[in-house]
Amino acid sequence: MIRVAIVGSTGYTGAELVRLLSHHREVEIVALTSQSYVDQPYEKVYPSLTDHVGLTCQAQNVEALMADVDAVFLALPHGLSVPWAQEAYRQGKKVIDLGADFRFRQVQTYESWYKTKHEAPELLGQAVYGLPELNRDKIRKSVIVANPGCYPTASILGLAPLLKNKLVNPQKIIIDAKSGISGAGRSAKLGSLYGEVNENVKAYGVATHRHTPEIEQEAAALLGLAPEDITLSFTPHLMPMTRGILATIYCDLQENLSITATEVRQIYKDFYGGEPFIHITEENQWPETKWCYGSNYVFIGLTIDERTKRLIVTTAIDNLVKGAAGQAIQNMNLLFDLPETEGIDRPGIWP
């Protein structure tokens, strides 16, 4: 059995890790840490997991905890993962970081967008960006996996076949994305209150959202370019729902390119052929967030607007599963040479 710890286990992402891992046939959860609920039984924090997790929340003692595990999941705010990653690297343990601290290959990008000094830039070269559909072989050989952000997961998976096949102008990409409120975390905030969110839709982080450079970095890599060689527009919106992300991506086809939506759809099917979690929808079938609610699945639909010659792609994921905890487990399965779908192959919940 793989012995794992979840650091930051009482946030929404941590709780989703606990829910999924509690039924993983090859995993034993040996430690759950929390800053707010130390010494409280986990099932008292999340009664929905009563009789599934017999652990008590413990303090975050890096060295003691790391010595007793094979892998650690870090479900922490940015800037807090470095001590854990350093100790895991020192002890030869695997780490899957669900925060932003190891997602960027250039430390200047991280420090500029997150306004935080990176305390271990030497480890960035040891980290692999954990999007299995693109980096599967690298993930298997890694020690530190940087789990992608939720918006970047939806956006990059929607863009990858287009960029890899150089079908669109990389300087004219617009991503309009909507997310459920759970993406804001469990902490009490004015903007997350029911009265603020219910019956309301709002844009936020307009032209400044921190997931923008992450999407640009991976888009540039698909094109064989440096991150600074691509600039795209990304605008997120908050929706009055609990889970889900729907990203609609607008791209200008390369000049003088003659191609049909049917041909592009086949390119997507070929690119993602054999991928266990990706579904390409048929013509005029558009993804909905409800289709993947509670699951690790991704739905991608597309068409070409013949009037504007613009290619439109829509991607739906669950922000807490494929956008966070499910993808982290997918990465853990790769790290330990397990079936990639182990523990996360459940269908979505409907309605």
Write down the pLDDT at residue 75. Answer: 97
Write down the pLDDT at residue 303. Answer: 98
CB 231, CB 172: distance < 8 Å: no
Name the pTM for this structure: 0.97
Tell me the one-letter amino acid at 159.
Answer: L
* Residue 60: pLDDT band with limits 50, 70, 90: confident
CATH number at 151-319: 3.30.360.10
Write down the pLDDT at residue 302. Answer: 98
Cis peptide before 240 (omega within 30 of 0): no
Q: What percent of the chain has pLDDT over 70?
A: 100
Checking if the pLDDT of 25 tops 90, the result is yes
Examine the residue annotation and report whether 150 is marked as an active-site residue of this protein. yes
CB atoms within 10 A of CB 13: 30
Mean pLDDT score, 63-79: 94
* Residue 176: pLDDT band with limits 50, 70, 90: very high
Q: What tens digit of pLDDT does each residue of 323-344 get?
A: 999 999 999 999 999 999 999 9
CA 172: distance to chain centroid? 24
* Residue 61: pLDDT band with limits 50, 70, 90: confident
Average pLDDT taken over every residue of the chain: 97
CA 255: distance to chain centroid? 32
CB 150, CB 245: distance < 8 Å: yes
* Residue 86: pLDDT band with limits 50, 70, 90: very high
Tell me the longest C-alpha to C-alpha distance in the chain.
65
> Sign (positive/negative) of CA torsion 316, 318, 323, 329?
negative
DSSP 123-192: GGGGEEE--HHHHHHHHHT-SEEEPPPHHHHHHHHHHHHHHHTT-EEEEEEEEEEEE-GGGG-SS--GGG
For domain 2-148+322-335, the question of CATH label 2.60.40.10 is answered with no
DSSP 258-270: ---HHHHHHHHHH
Checking if the pLDDT of 225 tops 90, the result is yes
Write down the pLDDT at residue 116. Answer: 96
Mean pLDDT score, 28-51: 97
Cα–Cα distances in angstroms (integers) from residue 108 to residues 32, 113, 116, 214, 307, in the given order:
32, 9, 10, 13, 41
Write down the pLDDT at residue 327. Answer: 98
Mean pLDDT score, 92-108: 97
Residue showing tokens 């009664």: 47
Q: What tens digit of pLDDT does each residue of 309-322 get?
A: 999 999 999 999 99
DSSP 65-118: HHTT-SEEEE---TTSSHHHHHHHHHHT-EEEE-SSTTS-SSHHHHHHHH----
Rounded (5°) CA angle 8-41-191? 45
Q: Catalytic residue, from 57, 150, 251, 292: name it.
A: 150
Checking if the pLDDT of 188 tops 90, the result is no
* Residue 63: pLDDT band with limits 50, 70, 90: confident
Half-sphere exposure of 110 (CA within 13 A, CB side): 19
Nearest partner of 323 among 215, 245, 242, 268, judged by Cα: 245
- Taking the alpha carbons at both ends of the chain, their separation in whole angstroms is 35
Q: What tens digit of pLDDT does each residue of 240-258 get?
A: 999 999 999 999 999 999 9
Nearest partner of 136 among 43, 305, 12, 275, judged by Cα: 275
Domain range list for the chain = 2-148+322-335, 151-319
> Under DSSP, is residue 322 helix (H, G, I), strand (E, B) or coil?
helix
Checking if the pLDDT of 48 tops 90, the result is yes
